[in-house]
Structure 1
Amino acid sequence: MSCLPAGFSVSGSSSPIFNNRERGSSLSSRVCSSIGGLQFRGSNSKEIWGNTLDFPDQKGFSNWSNKSPNLDPVYAQGTLSFPKKAQKWWEKSLQPNMVEIESAQELVEYLRNAGDRLVVLNFFSPGCGGCKALHPKICQLAESNSNTIFLTVNYEEHKPMCYALHVHVLPFFRFYRGADGKVCSFSCTNATIKKFKDALAKHGTERCSLGPAKGLEEKELLALASIDLISKDLVPLSSPEEEKVQELVEAAKSSSFSIDESKVELKEGNAMVAA
């Protein structure tokens, strides 16, 4: 609803029509044929309060001037319509178990918190015709496999992350499952969709794996951390020296000799066990 002060004038070639919806009400107005406009003289402006101004033609109504700013306002009703935002093809037919990844940090956390559920990582590009053609079928498979998590990564928006993960062909898919981490990866199109269905059937069966979800490989985490896409806290603290020391500790435990673990020392560039 627009508010216009009583006494305003409208300049233009077309003459507006005042439509008084209250029977018996009077209105003091005058049509100025010389300028093709309508003026309200504010002596009785409350009588037109809340009524509607109908304009049959909007041409020429580019200049509005207020003649009496101190008079009571007149309300004119109108309708504004805004066109709906067009939905992008990769946003259509999405299922509740389909999530678009916004950052590398979010990807790592999703994979680590998936438990024993199968996670399908889908790399796509808005300009990829094969990705667009395959999208409806992926949505159908997501609907029929509600216990599987489908994560999508927009290649155009996350190129550094895709480079670090060695993704160079689209559409591209990675399958992750619990403590096994990545169980397979491949590229497929509509013509080779059977490859996707077979992987889904093989790795989507109910089972229980030992240990927490592995997610990305350590070298991939290091690559992402090196370009500040994830926190360094997400990279496991392991090194060949530490692993060697641990192997020695475990070997000592299984032998007839005892070892004081508090005396195990790790020196940079050289692993040394002292008893």
Structure 2
Amino acid sequence: MAEALCNGVVALPCAGDVAARARGATAALAESVPIGRCSTKSSFAAGRMAVTDRKARPPTVEALPGQMNLSFPKAMRWWEKGLHPNMREIESAQDLADSLRNAGDKLVVVDFFSPGCGGCRTLHPKISQFAEKNPDVMFLQVNYETHKSMCYSLHVHVLPFFRFYRGAEGRVSSFSCTNATIKKFKDALAKHGPNRCSLGPARGLDESELMALAANKDLQFTYEKPGLVPLAQAIAKEAAAPGGPWLPLPASATQLLTQGSENSLLSSGR
């Protein structure tokens, strides 16, 4: 080889020989490694590592039938927390009027609130405590945002706002207070809370309030003003009603009345 270099003559391999050698190497590689894979020796314990050019399939996730109907509990709103059996939310103007009319001698507290009123939210736990300590008092909640038109007719323009109703007296107190002036609520509850008997049915809303609600076209509320009844007819109706306020007359008084009526008839016959 050195002599050939010195003489300037180099013998190159034939192109055919190079091609034959390449084909032989390719065939040998194909026998040892499958198509699409390459194989190499490694010093690891496994000895051989295979790498494929196929794309890995993403893992398939199959949802079970029971997992498709996932439901989360509805978050409780702040005015729905801490409620007691003597607390409930008013659904309509008719519901408010009927609840007050059917309350009998119970003290009824109407609580006007708004979901976005910070003072109402702060005061709500205190009202719940009062309701728990006074189970004989009825607490009615009126959502201002839901019944805005009704609140306008009742002249409620500030929140939180409270109205107290008691038996035949009707509305006995009306005021607005916050957590800082809660004493106003305590005093009204102590004044009108003790049990007492009313002479007559529950009055409920004032007649002017009932007329205003009936005149509001946004409300499905009807009210007919009662007509005038003669005094004698009203007394007779109350006396004939079972369980009325009238006490039964003694037998002697009944006989005197009967004799008096007979004498008057005889004298008129003459």
TM (norm. structure 2) is: 0.61
Within the alignment, does 1:185 sit opposite 2:174 as a pair? yes
What secondary structure sits across from 1:116 in the alignment?
Answer: coil
Deviation at 1:109, TM superposition (A): 0.3
Q: Which among 141, 145, 149 is matched to residue 134 of structure 2?
A: 145
What secondary structure sits across from 1:146 in the alignment?
Answer: coil
Q: Which among 195, 210, 220 is matched to residue 184 of structure 2?
A: 195
What's the counterpart of residue 205 of structure 2? 216
Within the alignment, does 1:128 sit opposite 2:117 as a pair? yes
Where in structure 1 do 4 or more consecutive aligned residues deviate above 6 Å? 247-250
Deviation at 1:235, TM superposition (A): 3.6
What's the counterpart of residue 226 of structure 2? 237
Q: CA RMSD in A?
A: 2.6
Deviation at 1:156, TM superposition (A): 0.7
- The one-letter code of the counterpart of 1:106 is D
**The structure with more radius of gyration:** 2
Deviation at 1:236, TM superposition (A): 3.0
Matches within 5 A, 1:1-275: 36=57, 58=61, 76=64, 79=67, 81-228=70-217, 229-232=219-222, 234-238=223-227, 242=228, 246=230
Summarize the Cα distance change of 1:76–1:212 in structure 2 as closer, same or farther, 3 Å threshold.
Answer: closer
- The one-letter code of the counterpart of 1:90 is W
Q: Structure 1: state its 5+ residue gaps.
A: 1-32, 38-55, 62-74, 251-275
Question: Within 1, Cα distance between the matches of 2:183 and 2:73?
Answer: 37
- The one-letter code of the counterpart of 1:131 is C
Question: Within 1, Cα distance between the matches of 2:65 and 2:193?
Answer: 59
More helix by share: 2
What's the counterpart of residue 238 of structure 2? none
Question: Within 1, Cα distance between the matches of 2:66 and 2:188?
Answer: 57
Post-superposition Cα deviations, 1:114-136, rounded to whole Å, max 9, x if no partner, equal 00000000000000000000000
What secondary structure sits across from 1:156 in the alignment?
Answer: coil
Summarize the Cα distance change of 1:87–1:237 in structure 2 as closer, same or farther, 3 Å threshold.
Answer: same
Question: Within 1, Cα distance between the matches of 2:161 and 2:64?
Answer: 57
Question: Within 1, Cα distance between the matches of 2:205 and 2:65?
Answer: 59
Deviation at 1:85, TM superposition (A): 1.2
Q: Is the 8 A contact 1:123 1:171 kept in 2?
A: yes
Deviation at 1:86, TM superposition (A): 1.1
Deviation at 1:231, TM superposition (A): 3.7
Q: Structure 2: state its 5+ residue gaps.
A: 1-53, 235-270
What secondary structure sits across from 1:183 in the alignment?
Answer: strand
- The one-letter code of the counterpart of 1:207 is R
Post-superposition Cα deviations, 1:222-247, rounded to whole Å, max 9, x if no partner, equal 11011242543x44324xxx48xx47
Summarize the Cα distance change of 1:230–1:189 in structure 2 as closer, same or farther, 3 Å threshold.
Answer: same
Summarize the Cα distance change of 1:147–1:79 in structure 2 as closer, same or farther, 3 Å threshold.
Answer: same
Q: Is the 8 A contact 2:112 2:144 kept in 1?
A: yes
Q: Is the 8 A contact 1:121 1:174 kept in 2?
A: yes
Question: Within 1, Cα distance between the matches of 2:147 and 2:74?
Answer: 24
Summarize the Cα distance change of 1:235–1:200 in structure 2 as closer, same or farther, 3 Å threshold.
Answer: farther
More strand by share: 1
